[in-house]
Amino acid sequence: MSHLVDVDLGNPIRTTAIQSLDPLNADRACFDLRRQNADGDVPALTAALRRLVPTTAAVDAYSLEMCVAAMRDLGMFLGSIKRHGPEPLDLVPEVQPVLLELGRRTDMVPRDTVHHYCTWNPVGGRQRMYTGDVQEAYLQESVRMVFPHLRDGLELAANLSEMDLSDPKFAVVTDELTRHVETTVAAIDMVVSNVSPEFFARVLRPYFEDITVDGRVLLGPAAAQVPLWLIDQAIWASDRSEPEYEEFLRDSVPYSLRRWRDLFDRWTQVPSVVSRLVDAFGDDPEEAERRDPALRESGEALARLLRVIVVFRGRHLGIARKAYDADLRLYPVGSGGASVDLLRQIINLTRVTSEATRATARRRAGQAAGHTAGHHGHGHGHGHGHAHGHGHAHGAGHGTERRPA
């Protein structure tokens, strides 16, 4: 029973392999699950889950990829049973040791996540879906299309976190990261065009409820588990955030891949890229730019990145506002625990950070124009309003689950 550590589950070759696997022989059961959900047939769902549960001895012989695929398919039944009312492990307690072992083997939480439901899900006739509705397929595809870009983007963010802002390559790497983040905007545009707020709020959202495993409340698959927030952490949020957003980040971390949890841990302990930029310009940006001409290019590249993030946040907020409208919603918060108010706070924080970055990068030009016009006392400031010393010690373990409000 080896413990597999530091294995990259996000690598595209491994992702394709996981999609192809069916270790529980669950293809037919997962297809029938759509009809059972439509009928609200909890006894049939329970019986199907019971038939699928492997022995722990069988799990011992699984490859890492088989463990991920097994968690994916068991998770479809966990979410389906909970959607109709019962706590799934109360009905099928024998699944608990299997979930714990699959979580241990994959170094993830002992239930399915958005990555199981979307990224590691087969496409075509074998696609696992709660409803079979084409709108559900579009939602799954939106995550599938951004996953490889965010995975690559996180490695670029790791480089930026350690790169000198006066390095001419800084702007080049930042622009490459921006191109990856732009896929989130394309993905959310696809969701807006093809998934109605009514379908998400009333039909699909109930399948993403939390379940209890071994006394721990674990959130269901959620967009919050897609790691754009981790790019936030590197670029601005590690030291320019608010306590409520920090709590949201801590709650999201356990549902990440091991590499991402390690990056979060690292970035929590160091200044954000935005704060380093502000410090680099200091109190005399004209002199700073004369000393390091690449600083302005670095700042402008950061502003371009943050503008893309702001566009995504704004569109996500628009969807969330509709899906959780008081007259429509069945749930007051998203399946990842983020309320509409929190989403609004996130976009405001990011916009403020974007403005601070843009203002810092342009301050040299503004001062020059001001002096030419004969004005004095510009006092532009650096936008430090969100820079708090929080003394983070978040960790990356699996013990930070919470029950959504």
- Under CATH, to which class is 12-132 assigned? mainly alpha
Percent of the chain at pLDDT > 90 equals 59
The predicted-structure confidence for 248-280, as pLDDT tens digits, reads as follows: 888 889 999 999 999 999 999 999 998 898 888
Judged against a pLDDT cut of 80, whether residue 353 lies above it is answered with no
User: Cβ contacts of residue 2 below 8 Å, gap of 6+?
Assistant: none
Provide the pLDDT for residue 6: 57
Cα gap 154→405, rounded to integer Å:
30
More confident residue, 14 or 344: 14
Looking at residue 361, its pLDDT comes to 44
When the pLDDT of each residue in the chain is averaged and rounded to a whole number, the result is 83
Residue 204's alpha-carbon distances to 135, 136, 329, 334, in angstroms, are: 9, 7, 12, 12
Backbone angles phi, psi at 53, to 5 degrees: -60, 120
Q: Which of the four pLDDT bands, split at 50, 70 and 90, describes residue 333?
A: low
Evaluate if residue 367 carries a pLDDT over 70: no
Q: What's residue 222's pLDDT?
A: 87
Answer whether residue 169 shows pLDDT above 80: yes
Q: Give the C-alpha separation, 45 to 27, whole Å.
A: 14
Tokens of 130: 């709660």
Retrieve residue 282's tokens. Answer: 């200091």
Q: Is the pLDDT of residue 368 over 50?
A: no
With cut-offs at 50, 70 and 90, classify the pLDDT of residue 1. very low
Inform me whether the pLDDT recorded for 401 exceeds 70. Answer: no
- CA gap 32, 26 in Å, rounded: 10
Which pLDDT does position 305 carry in this prediction?
92
Higher pLDDT, residue 92 or 393 = 92
Alpha helices in 201-293 (DSSP H): 228-232, 243-252, 258-268, 273-281, 285-291
pLDDT, tens digit (0-9, with 9 covering 90-100), for 278-295: 888 887 777 888 888 888
CA–CA gap between residue 367 and residue 380 (Å, rounded): 9
Tell me the domain boundaries of the chain. 12-132, 148-386
pLDDT of the residue at 398: 37
Q: Angle at Cα 80 formed by Cα 77 and Cα 86, nearest 5°?
A: 105
DSSP 8-class letter at 183:
H
Phi, psi of 213 (to 5 degrees): -125, 120
Q: What local confidence, expressed as pLDDT, does residue 216 receive?
A: 96
Q: How confident is the model at residue 381 (pLDDT cuts 50, 70, 90)?
A: very low
Look at the block and give the residue holding tokens 């991920």: 68
Residue 35 pLDDT grade (very low, low, confident, very high; cuts 50, 70, 90): very high
Exposed (0-12), middle (13-18) or buried (19+): which is 190, by Cβ within 10 Å? middle
pLDDT class of 118 with cuts at 50, 70, 90: very high
Q: Tokens in use for 110?
A: 């002992």
Report the relative pairing of strands 216-218 and 211-213 from DSSP bridges.
antiparallel
pLDDT of residue 337: 53
Query: What digits encode the pLDDT tens for the residues 175-201?
Result: 999 999 999 999 999 999 999 999 998
CA separation for the pair 83, 132 (Å, rounded): 16
pTM of the model: 0.81
The domains spanning 12-132 and 148-386 adopt the same CATH topology: yes
Q: Widest CA span of the chain, in angstroms? A: 81
The mean-pLDDT minimum among 357-366, 373-382, 392-401 falls in: 392-401
Q: What's the CA dihedral at 253, 257, 261, 262 to 10 degrees?
A: 180
pLDDT band at residue 380 using 50, 70 and 90 as cut-offs:
very low
Fold held by 148-386: Methane Monooxygenase Hydroxylase; Chain G, domain 1 (1.20.58)
pLDDT digit string, tens, across residues 200-251: 989 999 999 999 999 999 999 988 888 888 999 999 888 888 777 788 888 8
Q: What is the pLDDT of residue 341?
A: 60
Query: Which residues pair with residue 211 across a beta bridge?
Result: 218
